[in-house]
Amino acid sequence: MKIGGFKVGEYAFKEEGKKKHLVFDCASCVYHASISDDRVCMYHVLYALNEIDADVIVLSEVYERIYDEKQTLILKEIVKLIQKFSMEAPWSYNNLVNPQYLKDEGVVSARHKMIVTITHDLIAYDPLGAYFACLREINREKETFSSSGPDYKAGSAIYLKTLLYIKSAFEECELIKQTKKFLTELKEMPEFKEIYRALFEAQIKPAFIGSRLVFREEEGMELLDEYLVKNSTVQIFSHPNQTQNLYFINPPEYTLSPEKYFVLSKAKEIVSGYTPGKASLSTVAKSREYFERLYRSTIMEIAQQHNISLNKKEIVELSEIVARYSVGYGILEILLSDRKLTDIYLDSPIGQTPLYVMHSDFDQCLTNVLYTEREASALITKLRAMSARPFDEVHPVLDFDLPELETRVAAIGPPLAPDGVAFAFRLHKITPWTLPQFIDVKYLNPLAAGFISFLIDNQATMLVTGSRGSGKTSLLSACILEIPKNTRIIVQEDTLEIPVEYMKKVGFNIQRLKTRSPISVSKTEVEVEPEEALRTALRLGNSALVIGEVRSKEARTLYEAMRIGAAGNVVIGTIHADSAYAVWDRVVNDLEVPTTSFKATDIVVTARPIRFYGSLKSNRRVVEITEIRKHWIEEPAREGGLLDLMRYSAKEDNLELLEDNLKESELFDKISRISGQTLEEMWKDIRMRAESKRYLVEMKNKHDIPELLEADTASMANDKLMLLREKQIREFGKVNYDEILEQWKKWLNDKIIPRLIKK
Ligand SMILES: Nc1ncnc2c1ncn2[C@@H]1O[C@H](COP(=O)(O)OP(=O)(O)OP(=O)(O)O)[C@@H](O)[C@H]1O
Ligand SMILES: [Mg+2]
């Protein structure tokens, strides 16, 4: 298209997130692809907006510059102003002069030229320049006016009026309003270019990547943390006026040199010629390797052909990037590698709001990443192919474990999600939480950890409860690590969250059963119902039984088995509720377990996010350890069936032992009967476990060796403690707990700690 001798880059329309994008192909344009840096570019954009309406402007060359809705609106106002001026023609003769009094043609022609410049020519390239030209002309004219005679005044009043009218028309526009605000804040006149840059700060992204990054620094933002994830810098900021923190990611592919972009775009173009078949999509990891190899050789060829020098490291880096954006998950992949994130949410309509994440240190954060519809539909295609499950109007939920990424994705689509698809990713922890780690983050104290360890070793039945995300499943994993390694463990889950693979590697003997997910509404689900799986688990014989989450009919089967003692030795699980009483209520009233069967539960551990002094940051804490006593008939709370053994005090930020309640405990009697230990011995045992875990934390912090608390070492340390105890029982028929602790600490200091320090 040609306008006034210029070749204007071609433009096209695109709908995204229900918004109209006007996309300019700037590759063929000789001007700079930026509204703020090139007045001709501004002209092209205003010209196009004069012809077509749009919500978002995109200037596309190797990068894409994206001007959001607010910015586009500012431009559209200018276009309207130009249209208004051209309708009203303020440059017409009778707006310039009253010819009865002023006959100087030279003055009239100068006025004509000035008004045309301001309202017709300059405005389309540099609207701010036009406005300031208007202000200057007003000042100049006012001076001439006041020093001139009555004829001049009578002949020129209309001109001054026209100028003032133009000025006020300009001042209706957001561009001028914002500039004025800007200028009063600055107190000093900057160059127009700087003002344009401030107002039209575009989001920039490489053209071959869908996701946009929005960097908007604002005053008062405070850097809370900074770290690297897969060569990408992550920065966490707090915002002065927003309750959620900001999570900014800056992957290398957004800041490469133009040459490298060129190579990348070319490589992607060439390789997309060979589309992979469905089969290779379903084995992503394998096809990933294949593609990275293919990209490497293609990139080398392109670089050679175009005389671009790249070293080996750069070639590998570039091929990883292309693979990420072709066969991989795009920018999501980097977020998925940040294991400090626990969840990633992509809400519909996609493309309208940045995605947000749950961060294990900083809670909910808004990111700077805008995902696009195109990427979302590519992701859906990928998920369909990999899961071999349908996802459409009849099956609007797709719930799937991403292979190799330790991540569960739930996608929902219309009609369930009327605004289009949305995704939630849950990132599982690859190594399980351990009780010492929980002590370290103050989730619970050493005594509670020792107590839980003791209960599990003594085959108590325990349910962990709490609100969503309070750490139930994490605590359950930590509890599994306290089960003696010679016990067979059956883990039943509908979502594979417990790091079973890792636990097996560390020496646990675990059989996993995967049951059908309750949130999937898919009709072709092949997985087994939880109730059926549980019956199978019970038939597998004497094992510790771990139920990822008790949530439906299987509860009846479970309690029935526990009541008659057919459920094996240890039974532990999680259940969604917020206190021991609420667990009873759920189990009996919702899940229809007979109330007296509930007595098969020995202990309920309740966790809760605590906000100190109303702070926005919540900290997870175990708040209650409650014993379910056995002598009640209908309703345990009324009949003294719920006995808190430990209770959290917010004032002390500590889980306190309730010594008076302990005297009424029936559980210790029961354990005493089974194990033959006296109450005093049991407490010595608990305190020994507590001290050993506390000591691990102390040593970890003293020597700065976080590995000491990881599951492999922590469970080895636990084994050692138990072995030392066994040895004493065998040799002396009784246990000297202080002596064991001493031997154990020596072992830790001599054998384990030096090894970790060396690493
Ligand atoms: N004490 C803790 N401190 C910090 N982070 C924790 C703690 N406990 C758990 N987390 C993290 O919080 C996230 C949620 O934990 P988890 O899945 O165990 O909670 P949940 O109560 O089982 O949640 P849901 O209700 O969804 O089942 C996990 O990523 C976990 O690593
Ligand atoms: Mg859970």
Angle between helices 312-326 and 258-271 (to 10 degrees): 50
Q: Domain spanning 435-665: which CATH class is it, in words? A: alpha beta
C-alpha atoms less than 13 angstroms from C-alpha of 625 in its C-beta half-sphere:
28
Annotate 248-309 with DSSP letters as a single string: EEE-GGGS--HHHHHHHHHHHHHHTTSPPPHHHHHTHHHHHHHHHHHHHHHHHHHHHHTT--
From the CA of 588, how far away is ligand 2's center (Å)? 21
Q: Which numbered atom of ligand 1 lies nearest the CA of 438? A: 1
Using left for φ > 0, alpha for ψ between -120 and 50, and beta otherwise, residue 471 falls in left
pLDDT of 2 above 50 = no
Neighbour-count burial of 619, counting CB atoms closer than 10 A to its CB (0-12 exposed, 13-18 middle, 19+ buried)? middle
What's residue 117's pLDDT? 96
Task: Compute the distance between CA of residue 610 and CA of residue 597 in angstroms, rounded to an integer.
Answer: 32
| Cα 573 to ligand 2 centre (Å) | 10
Å from CA of 39 to ligand 2 middle? 56
Protein residue with least CA distance to atom 16, ligand 1: 471
Tokens of 44: 């092209």
pLDDT tens profile 189-228: 777 888 888 888 777 777 767 777 776 667 788 999 999 9
Mutational test site, ligand 1, from 474, 476, 546, max ligand atoms within 8 Å of CB? 474
Q: Tell me the pLDDT band of 334, cut-offs 50, 70 and 90.
A: very high
Q: Which residues contact 357 (CB under 8 A, 6 or more apart)?
A: 247, 335, 341, 343, 344, 345, 364, 365, 367
Query: Whose structure tokens read 């009063």?
Result: 184
**In the structure encoding, which two tokens stand for residue 78, read together?**
């200018």
Place of tokens 């949530």: 551
Q: Which atom of ligand 1 is nearest to the CA of 360?
A: 5
Of the listed ligands, the closest to the CA of 342 is 1
Q: Is 450 exposed, middle or buried (0-12, 13-18, 19+ CB in 10 A)?
A: buried
pLDDT of amino acid 746: 97
- Under a CB-based contact definition with an 8 Å cutoff, are residues 16 and 373 in contact? yes
| Cα 360 to ligand 1 centroid, rounded to whole Å | 8
Kindly state the tokens that stand for 470: 């309070």
Asked if omega into 754 is within 30° of 0 (cis), the reply is no
Answer yes or no: is pLDDT of 8 > 70: no
Give pLDDT tens digits for 122-150: 999 999 999 999 999 999 999 999 999 99
Question: Measuring CA to CA, which residue among 259, 526, 534 is closest to residue 387?
Answer: 526
The CA 417 to ligand 2 mean position distance, Å, reads 24
82-108 mean pLDDT = 93
Amino acid at 695: Y
Ligand of minimum distance to the alpha carbon of 471: 1
With tokens 């006012």, the residue in question is 142
Q: How confident is the model at residue 662 (pLDDT cuts 50, 70, 90)?
A: confident
Question: Atom 25 in ligand 1: which residue has the minimum CA distance?
Answer: 468
- Other Cβ atoms less than 10 A from the Cβ of 204: the count is 17
173 pLDDT tier (thresholds 50, 70, 90): very high
469 C-alpha vs ligand 1 centroid, how far in Å? 5
Report which bound ligand comes closest to the CA of 428. 1
Contact 355, 393 (CB under 8 A): no
Describe the crossing of helices 446-457 and 679-703 by its angle, rounded to 10 degrees. Answer: 130
Closest C-alpha residue for ligand 1 atom 29: 342
Q: What is the pLDDT of residue 337?
A: 92
| Ligand 2: centre distance to CA 531 (Å) | 19
Q: How far apart are the first and last CA of the chain?
A: 65
- For a substitution probing ligand 1, which of 343, 360, 550 has the most ligand atoms within 8 Å of its CB? 360
Distance 714 CA to ligand 2 centre (A): 22
Rounded mean pLDDT of the chain? 87
**Residue whose CA is at the smallest distance from ligand 1 atom 23:** 469
Can the peptide bond before residue 349 be classed as cis, meaning omega within 30 degrees of 0? yes
Residue 186: pLDDT band with limits 50, 70, 90: low
Q: Which of 472, 514, 470 is nearest to 490 (CA)?
A: 514
Q: Strand pairing partners for 747?
A: none
The residue whose CA has the least distance to atom 9 of ligand 1 is: 471
**Digit-coded pLDDT (tens) for 9-20:** 578 888 877 889
Which atom of ligand 1 lies closest to the CA of 442?
Answer: 1
Q: Is the whole model's pTM more than 0.85, yes or no? A: no
Quick one: pLDDT band at residue 568, thresholds 50, 70, 90? low
Instruction: Spell out the CATH class of 253-427.
Output: alpha beta
CA of 476 to the centre of ligand 2 (A): 9
* Ligand 1 proximal residues by C-beta, below 6 Å: 342, 360, 429, 438, 441, 443, 466, 468-474, 574, 576, 620
555-591 in b/e form (b: 16+ CB < 10 A) is: bbbbbbbbbeeebbbbbbbbbbbbbbbebbbbbbeeb
Contacts of 373 (CB under 8 A, 6+ apart): 16, 17, 349, 350, 351, 420
| Cβ-based burial of 192 (10 A; exposed 0-12, middle 13-18, buried ≥19) | middle
Instruction: Locate the ligand 1 atom nearest the alpha carbon of residue 576 and give its number.
Output: 25
Identify the residue whose C-alpha is closest to ligand 1 atom 6. 471
Rounded CA separation 560/553 (Å): 12
User: Quick one: pLDDT at residue 606?
Assistant: 98
* Dist. CA 633–CA 627, nearest whole Å: 16
Domain boundaries, the chain: 1-207, 253-427, 435-665
**Most ligand 1 atoms within 8 A of CB, residue of 361, 434, 473 to mutate:** 473
Q: Which amino acid is at 455?
A: L
Does the pLDDT value for residue 476 go beyond 90? yes
* Mean pLDDT, range 55-67, rounded to an integer: 86
Is the model more confident about 278 or about 551?
A: 551
pLDDT at position 398: 87
Q: Given pLDDT bands bounded at 50, 70 and 90, which one contains residue 615?
A: low
- Residue 549 C-alpha to ligand 2 middle, in angstroms? 7
pLDDT at 525: 58
Question: How many whole angstroms separate alpha carbon 616 and alpha carbon 612?
Answer: 8
Residue 280 has pLDDT above 90, yes or no: no
User: Looking at residue 611, what is its pLDDT?
Assistant: 77
